[in-house]
Amino acid sequence: MSGGGGGGGLGAGFSYQKFVHVALEQTRLRTALAPHPSQEKFKFIKTNEDNTVLNALSFSAPKIRLLRSLAIEQKNSVQVLDFAAFSEPEYDLPIFCANAFTSPARSIIVLDLNPLYDTTEHEDYREKYYRNLMPHIHKYSELLPWGGKITGESLRFFSPIVIWTILEPTEANHQVLYSAFMDYYKVWLELMDEAVQEISVEKIDRNREAQHKYLTWRAEKDPGYPLLKKLIGECAAKDLVREFLFEGVDSLGTKPFLQYFPEYAQKDGTVNKKRSMIGKSFESRPWDAHGRFIGDATTSDYSFRWEERQGWNAWRLRKLVLTALVSA
């Protein structure tokens, strides 16, 4: 599937660094950024391939626990961006998430404000953060069309405004993506500005656990790990995932993966890496104009919990990335 054509292929000078630089500029207009402790260890990380460069940046701010970016640039080949923003537990803000993988053949994109709480089960959370944001997805739904079939297992991993798309890597599509990235990030910054600090210890602990559960899942199931392992080795890749990309997985909580997700336990006590593809698949966006889920909720397998549904999403993205690497 592809978006609007035209504009020619991306030239050798294409880079996601512009996305990062402008996002940081916009952030500094609203708050004071300070280097995050993870910055020192990972800012000069080296790859095993001479034609590939990793750029890692991480910051914190009064309301932002972690703002981090990892960009991978492989000369005349692969460009990757993994950009995310996590609030302090005193706020229940969505998690800003931008994942982009571009090869000469295609661009695979996920851009979202990942909900801290399931927006189908927690209607109050959906109303609080997404009801007024629906015009953004209406703006981009044709320019950045739905990326193809996804089962019901993955849906609540996304918010109603998610952009999940596969594009031809043209300059025109890149410009549309840049516009969407900045629109979504500015929205997140506005939500951060307006956020009021929670004073209830119970709610703060609940936010902290919700974020830790998210980090625990992502650290275990990160679809980019095979690429990182190839570029910097297994030990360094594990450190980068746990101490940089999903920093907090070892500090916000102590529950291991299987305590959050016991359904993945194998008989020997290890994590089952496989996941059945269960539930109805959706070829188009399954939310209405108000952000309400309009899929067939009576489908027998759709009742699986949010955490279980994330498995198929991570598996699909991993497969797409590895396929793109082979064809690059």
Predicted confidence (pLDDT) per residue in 48-68, tens digit: 988 999 999 999 999 999 999
Which range, 213-217, 285-289, 320-324, is most confident? 213-217
Structural tokens at position 53:
């460069």
Closest CA to 6 of 139, 169, 179: 169
Sign of CA dihedral 183, 105, 102, 147: positive
In eight-state DSSP terms, residue 77 is S
Amino acid at 213: K
pLDDT over threshold 80, residue 253 = yes
Report DSSP letters for 233-259, one per residue.
Answer: -HHHHHHHIIIIITTTTTTS----HHH
DSSP conformational letter for 104: S
What would the two tokens of residue 247 be? 């920093």
pLDDT at 245: 98
Residue 68, sorted as left (phi over 0), alpha (psi -120 to 50) or beta, turns out to be beta
Encode pLDDT of 23-45 as tens digits: 999 999 999 999 999 999 998 88
Which of 3-17, 21-35, 138-152, 177-191 has the weakest average pLDDT?
A: 3-17
Q: What is the pLDDT of residue 151?
A: 60
Locate 210 and state its tokens.
């919700």
Residue 315 has pLDDT above 60, yes or no: no
H or E segment to which residue 275 belongs: none
Tell me, what's the pLDDT at 223? 83
Q: Which pLDDT score, from 0 to 100, does residue 140 have?
A: 95
**Nearest-angstrom CA–CA distance, 17 and 11:** 14
- Residue 133 in 3-state DSSP? helix
- C-alpha torsion sign, points 110, 108, 58, 20: negative
**pLDDT for res 312:** 38
Q: Can you tell me the distance from the alpha carbon of 72 to that of 223, in angstroms, rounded to the nearest whole number? A: 15
Give pLDDT tens digits for 97-109.
Answer: 999 999 999 999 9
Residue with tokens 């991570």: 314
Residue 193: how many CA atoms within 13 Å on its side-chain side?
Answer: 12
Query: What mean pLDDT is predicted for residues 139-156?
Result: 78
What does the pLDDT look like over 269-303, one tens digit per residue?
A: 898 776 544 446 677 788 888 888 887 433 333 33
Least confident of 7-11, 20-24, 142-146: 7-11
Six-digit token string for 295: 């899929």
Percentage of the residues of the chain whose pLDDT score is greater than 90: 63
pLDDT (tens digit per residue) in 114-123: 999 989 889 9
Confidence check: pLDDT of 84 > 50: yes
Predicted pLDDT at 173: 94
Count of CB atoms situated within 10 Å of the CB of 271: 13
In Å, how far are 15, 78, 238 from 172, measured between CA atoms? Answer: 14, 18, 36
pLDDT at 66: 98
